Structures are given as C-alpha cells and as structure tokens.
Amino acid sequence: MALSMYEISIPMFINNFNILSNILRKAEKDAEKRKIEKSVFMNARLAPDMLPLTKQIQIGTDMVRLGIGRLADIKAPSFKDNEVTFSDLQKRIKKTITFLEKIKSKQMDGSELKKIELSIGKRKLVFKFKNGYIYLSEWIIPHFFFHMTTTYDILRANGVNLGKRDFVKM
C-alpha cells in the first residue's frame, strides 16, 4: 500500500517541530546558565550574509504552513514575523503544530497530482511544480530541513551543547 501525501508530511512535520521546540528550550536554558543575553541567540547568524535565528524559524514555519495549506486547498493562517524572544518562537511553532493537527488526511487526497504555482517576494519569482508530490518532496521538505538545520547550527556555533540526539530521535 502506498503512503499518502498526508502520511509522508503531517506526522513528520509535527515530530520535527517538536524537536525544534526542544532545541530552542535547551538553548534558552543554556543562555540562562551561561548568563548570555537571549537576544544574542535570536540575532545570531552562521555567516554575515545569512538570516538570523528568528528568521530561520519564521521561514521554516511559513514554508510548511503555507505549503500544506496549498496542498490541502485551505487558507493557512498568517503570522506577522514579529518574534523577538524564545517564548515568541515557541508560540509560533505551537501555532504551526496546531494548524497541522487540524489537517485531515482526506483534505490532502489527490494533492500529489495537483499542479502548484506560487510567487515569492516583491520580485514576483514564480515557481511552477508539475505536481504536489514534487512540490512537497523537492520544495517544502528540503526548505524546512534547511531552516531547521540552520537553527541548530547557529545555536551549536554559539556554544549550546547540542548533539545528534537533539536533532534526531534515537
């Protein structure tokens, strides 16, 4: 029996958002323990031309929330991108999980064949995907994991004691 679009996405995203939430919780405790101003982590980047930690979380949650909304043919909630604290980021992740938990498998039935077109940014970059499966597997999932990994890497580079077991359930 083939896996459905729902089965290959929703549970995996919920699981990984919970992992991301735990990573942020560990980073916040680390900042308190080392007496580091938490905004240092919020504004930290891996490289000068990369976006800060807060933006990594914002983009990662947007990518999943808006992408799943397109696949399920429902309007995803809009978030303001105004998070500045660990608590703010935790709330954003929780709201994203709550949205995903409301998606029913039937809402995504047939989405693997759906043609997807989206535009991004002020430059109106238009992306066309042959079908929903390609959109999910080659766009949403890789982008989500890029931003999750970058968040992990930013925190690790700033001395937070994170390891593989924090990123992958073992």
For the stretch 50-76, pLDDT in tens is: 999 999 999 999 999 999 999 999 999
Average pLDDT over residues 96-114: 95
Per-residue pLDDT tens for 16-47?
999 999 999 999 999 999 999 999 999 999 99
User: Which pLDDT does position 2 carry in this prediction?
Assistant: 79
CA dihedral 146, 148, 150, 152 (to 10 degrees): -150
Q: At what angle do helices 10-34 and 86-102 cross, to 10 degrees?
A: 170
Q: DSSP letters of 27-53?
A: HHHHHHHHT--HHHHHT--SSTTSPPH
Average pLDDT over residues 137-154: 97
136 or 127, higher pLDDT: 136
pLDDT confidence of 126, banded at 50, 70, 90?
low
Domains along the sequence of the chain with CATH: 26-167 (1.20.120.450)
* pLDDT above 70 (res 124): no
Q: How far apart are CA 149 and CA 142, in angstroms?
A: 10
* pLDDT above 70 (res 113): yes
In the three-class reduction of DSSP (H, G, I as helix; E, B as strand; rest coil), residue 54 is classed as helix
Average pLDDT over residues 3-13: 96
- For the entire predicted model, the pTM comes to 0.94
Tell me which residue of 22, 24, 70, 60 sits closest to 145, measured CA to CA: 60
Contact predicate 83/92, CB 8 Å: yes
* pLDDT above 80 (res 95): yes
